[in-house]
Structure 1
Amino acid sequence: MDLRVLTDEILLQLLKADNDKAFKEIYTRHWKPIFEAAYYRLANKEVAKELVQTIFLRIWEKRHSIQIQHLAAYLQTSVRNSIINYLESTLVHKKYQQHVIDSSAGFCNSTQATVNFHELSQAIEKAIDMLPEKTRHVFRLSRFDQLSIREIAASMNISEKAVEYHITRSLKTLRFYLKDYLDPAL
């Protein structure tokens, strides 16, 4: 059967029935306009590719439960939301870096204190990067974006208990990896 002649609606029905060829046809048919929209707004091919891949990966993973009426509109909305989320997270990360720089300027008068501060900042980033992807994402939403447990659960479509688990796990991991930097007097 030549899937190229089928409508998006029929392809979506086949997708729900685990037809990977229907998924490939949806991807082939729609990836380029979505990529171009992301690239136009971000001017970064790698980030645009990653956002598009994530959108299609989510469609595949949620193919049994996802409710899509108009595929092209759904994809345009998804890419717009992905771009907004990416820009917001980038902005938060930049604000965090600036905060770290601003904070260090007031506290670090000696060369040794500056070196220690930069080592600690690098160790924190390294420890965060060692977390599993989902745990790292929950941690960043909690600590950097300052979202509540309920907001994180809603945005990631997981339970509040799962969010609490990921936060607890990340804090334990960070404590373990940063134990050499903790003040013994504390």
Structure 2
Amino acid sequence: MDLRVLTDEILLQLLKANNELAFKEIYTRYWQRLFETAYHRLASRETAKELVQTVFLRIWEKRHSNHITHLQSYLQTAIKNSVINYVAATLVHKRYLQHIINTGSTTYQGAESTLTIHELSQAIDKAVAALPAKTRQVFRLSRFDHLSIREIATILNISEKAVEYHITQSLKTLRSYLKDYLDIAL
């Protein structure tokens, strides 16, 4: 069967039924447009490719829970949001580095007392990895994918109260795990 002639709606139904060929057709049909959108805004081929790959990875991972009605619009919105999140994260990273540069040389003496972004990033990754599976999943959707409590509850098929509980637990664990880093930063 030639999937190129099928509508997006039929491809989405096949995708929900775990049809890898339907996923490949969706990818083939839309990857170039998404790449161009991301590249136009970022002017970085590698970053644009990574963001497009992430969008398609999420489509595959959430194929059973996604309720997409207009695929092209959904994908364009997803890539635009990914670009916005990437730019925002980059700005935060730059501000933090500037803050470390501005305050680090006058507040702290010596290289060993300066908290680096790399160390903090590794500590956060370890702390997140130490969370229970469901709590980690909720935390990632909330903090990394920037989904609302309602969206997370829908995706994971749990109550909004359960989502709030998992977020609270993850933040308590992270605060505890990162206590030493927070003390140094303050």
Question: Normalising TM by the smaller chain, what interval?
Answer: 0.7 to 0.9
Q: Deviations over 1:100-123 (max 9, x none)?
A: 222223324xxxx132332x3354
Q: Deviations over 1:61-95 (max 9, x none)?
A: 22222222221111111111110011011111111
Q: Which amino acid aligns with 2:178?
A: L
What's the TM-score once normalised by structure 1's chain length? 0.74
SS in structure 2 at match of 1:18: coil
Q: 1:67 to 1:123 in 2, by over 3 A?
A: closer
2:52 — aligned with what?
A: 52
Q: 1:132 to 1:46 in 2, by over 3 A?
A: farther
SS in structure 1 at match of 2:171: helix
Partners of 2:147 and 2:11 in 1: CA distance? 32
2:165 — aligned with what?
A: 161
Q: Choose the corresponding residue for 1:170, options 171, 174, 181.
A: 174
Q: Choose the corresponding residue for 1:115, options 111, 120, 125.
A: 111
What's the TM-score once normalised by structure 2's chain length? 0.74
1:124 — aligned with what?
A: 120
Q: Deviations over 1:119-176 (max 9, x none)?
A: x3354343224344695x959x87xx9xxxxx8753872611211222233233334x
Partners of 2:92 and 2:151 in 1: CA distance? 18
CA RMSD of aligned residues (A): 3.2
Partners of 2:52 and 2:125 in 1: CA distance? 23
Q: 1:16 to 1:117 in 2, by over 3 A?
A: same
1:148 — aligned with what?
A: none
Q: Which amino acid aligns with 1:101?
A: I
For the Cα contact (< 8 Å) 1:104–1:114, is it kept in 2? no
Identity %: 48
Partners of 2:22 and 2:168 in 1: CA distance? 38
2:61 — aligned with what?
A: 61
For the Cα contact (< 8 Å) 2:34–2:76, is it kept in 1? yes
Partners of 2:50 and 2:41 in 1: CA distance? 14
Q: 1:125 to 1:62 in 2, by over 3 A?
A: closer
Q: 1:6 to 1:165 in 2, by over 3 A?
A: same
Q: 1:60 to 1:126 in 2, by over 3 A?
A: closer
Partners of 1:73 and 1:81 in 2: CA distance? 12
The structure whose Rg is larger is 1
1:9 — aligned with what?
A: 9
SS in structure 2 at match of 1:66: coil
For the Cα contact (< 8 Å) 2:139–2:166, is it kept in 1? no
Q: Which amino acid aligns with 1:59?
A: I
Where do 5+ consecutive residues of structure 1 fail to align?
146-150
Q: Which amino acid aligns with 2:41?
A: R
Q: 1:103 to 1:155 in 2, by over 3 A?
A: farther
